Amino acid sequence: MSLRDHCRAALLGLCLTLSFAAAAVEIPTTPGIQSSLSKIAERKLPETEQKAVQQRKEARSAQAAAGQRAPGDPRQPTRADQAQG
């Protein structure tokens, strides 16, 4: 094989590897977000910041339980959202 063939094969392998790696990135899920928020709440924060984090966590939990989206949520509305609104 020539140098050109080796480079072509290496480039093809790199492109295939990167495309699979990019596809492996997952969209955050509600349980994952809740877990992250719980970890934040467990950290030692000043009392005022701790209260603010807890309030946001409770508000998001209430919205999730009610099936509502947070303001500024970039996700597209689902059919269920459209039926409600």
Taking only the tens place, the pLDDT of each residue in 6-20 is: 999 999 888 888 766
Question: Given CA atoms 13, 19, 23, 25 in this order, what sign does their dihedral have?
Answer: positive
pTM for the model: 0.31
Contact between 57 and 41 (Cβ < 8 Å): yes
Q: What string of pLDDT tens digits covers the 85 residues of the chain?
A: 789 999 999 998 888 887 666 666 677 788 888 888 888 767 677 888 888 888 888 888 888 777 766 555 566 566 666 665 5
